[in-house]
Chains A and B, each alone.
Chain A
């Protein structure tokens, strides 16, 4: 079980997406998942080993690291990727439900299984709202936990068993900051894509409904 599973999930969702949805999948694959696996994981790999405090007191480094990084950036990033990809499962389940219904009734109930209309439209819109919601929640979490998206070179720590206020140095702070900004930028892009897809779908189906009612009125 690894990122390949997420990749397969998103490929499956691609079939039932709109054009903007497919761009979203491409952005998530290439600029988020691939960058995470091929690049970012290695930066944070030895973060605890390389975290150094100006003291010989055993346990002080561990305690200070734990205080400043309750959940590591890289873990939050991974959680964000998983949570943001999961709402697409709702669409997959709905299509599977439609397939099941057709099999059960042994006749064609829907014009096309993957056509985004009726119940599937609601499911799709809910999945878009959830995706956007998760993105915003994680960005907010990053901001709150780490006081913005900066990674300082030096943090001062005075938690027991550290004898006084000690200087602790974080490894590769600039590189980590660059990739955090990259994460924020790609998250922002995905939020914009989700919101445009949402507006596009709502606009398209309002026009469709309006035209239908207009035609009915004049018949």
Chain B
């Protein structure tokens, strides 16, 4: 079980996402999870070993490290990524529930069921409308909330996003105020700013997706109110074309992340 398994789980959700959702997922896997695993973990790998305090007092280094880093950056990011990925599971569960209902209808031999076989139900892509729209929109909302909460927690715990070179510590058992030096402060600052920037991009993508969904919802409502006679076949053809395009985009996105494993 690792980040690759998370990719497999979320890849399934990709099929039912909007185009912006698919871009968000790609950004998440390439610019956040991959960077975390391949680069950031190495930078923070030796953080306590190379945290050096100007004292021979045993225990002082441990206590000062614990005081300045109650929870390491790298662990906070990992938790943030896990929490931010989880709302997509709500959508996956809703889709699975719908598929289950359709399979049940099909098995009962319901005449309303328009599918020819179970395989078609399994492969079918659901449109984001009705209750699925609400689930999808709430998942985006929760994603936004988690991103914002973690960004704030970061800012609050570390007084901004800069990693200082030197920290002064006088926690017991340090005999006086001692100088403690952080390992690789500039590299850590660079990666912190990078991760914050990508977080902000993800927040913007989520906001854009939310606006898109809301706009689509209101447009659909006003169309229904203003034009009760609609042409379902024509609409379906347009939507099928859009679906095919989305499939192509998702396939190319999948191919770019398929080689990734940790």
Contact = CB atoms under 8 A, between A and B. Distances in A.
A178 B5 contact: no
Given A19-B97, A22-B93, A154-B59, A172 B1 contact: no
Interface in B56-102: 57-59, 61-63, 65-66, 69-72, 74-75, 78-79, 82, 85-86, 89, 93, 96-97
A175 B70 contact: yes
A46 B75 CA distance: 16
A146 interface: no
Given A30-B82, A34-B82, A50 B66 contact: no
Contacts of B97: 19
Contacts of B86: 30-31
B75 A39 contact: yes
B84 to A, nearest CB: 12
Given A174-B66, A175-B70, A178-B71, A26 B89 contact: yes
B93 A50 contact: no
A21 to B, nearest CB: 12
A33 B1 contact: yes
Contacts of A198: none
A53 interface: yes
A168 B89 CA distance: 44
A46 B48 contact: yes
Interface stretch (A1-9, A96-104, A208-216): A1-9
Contacts of A88: none
Contact of A38 (B2, B49, B173): B2
A54 interface: yes
A55 B2 CA distance: 40
A173 B59 contact: no
B59 A3 contact: no
The interface size bin for chain B is 20 to 34
A171 interface: yes
B149 to A, nearest CB: 15
Most chain B CB inside 10 Å of its own CB: which residue of A3, A4, A23, A169: A169
A195 B200 CA distance: 40
Interface residues of A, number: 38
A34 B86 CA distance: 12
A169 B63 contact: yes
B156 to A, nearest CB: 15
Contacts of B78: 35, 38-39
B175 to A, nearest CB: 12
B6 interface: yes
A3 B4 CA distance: 13
B150 interface: no
Given A30-B6, A43-B75, A46-B48, A171 B1 contact: no
Interface of B: 1-3, 5-6, 9, 41, 48-49, 57-59, 61-63, 65-66, 69-72, 74-75, 78-79, 82, 85-86, 89, 93, 96-97, 173
Interface of A: 3-4, 6-7, 19, 22-23, 26, 29-31, 33-35, 37-39, 42-43, 46, 50, 52-55, 153-154, 167-175, 178-179
